[in-house]
Amino acid sequence: MGGAIARRLKTAGFDISVWDRTKSKAEALQVGPVVDSPAEAARNADVLITMVTGPQALRDVYFGPSGVFTAGADNTTCGPVNETSAWLPCWSTPATATTPGYAAG
């Protein structure tokens, strides 16, 4: 699903960078530069879209050793954060996109 969205964004004229746990999958998309980490993807991004397989993958992408939150200083007003439930309410408004054919579970 992330690949389809990346291709649509590229077709719409957006400049994007791509990261995937499996680098060859990101390279196969051929939609923009492939970066080495979520932090690198976040550094120069105006908008960050994550497509992951579940809660642990989300934690890894944001809070792991090369996660999004290692890309810069924490400038939030909600204090130090260390888990998804702590930062979501004050950092952003999450969006849920329907994925046809996907059954949560």
In a domain, 37, yes or no: yes
Q: Give per-residue pLDDT as tens, 10-42.
A: 999 999 999 999 999 999 999 999 999 999 998
Element (H, E) at 58: helix 55-63
Quote the pLDDT of residue 11.
Answer: 93
Q: Is residue 84 part of a domain?
A: yes
Compute the average pLDDT of residues 82-100: 51
For residue 39, the enclosing domain spans: 2-91
Confirm whether 58 is domain-assigned. yes
CATH number, domain with residue 16: 3.40.50.720
User: Domain count of the chain?
Assistant: 1
Q: Which amino acid is at 16?
A: I
The whole-angstrom separation of Cα 35 and Cα 33 is: 6
Tell whether 27 is covered by a domain.
Answer: yes
Mean pLDDT of 77-83: 51
> Residue 79: what pLDDT?
52
Hey, what's the torsion of the CAs at 29, 9, 97, 4, to 10 degrees?
A: -30
Cα dihedral value 60, 53, 93, 12, nearest 10 = 110
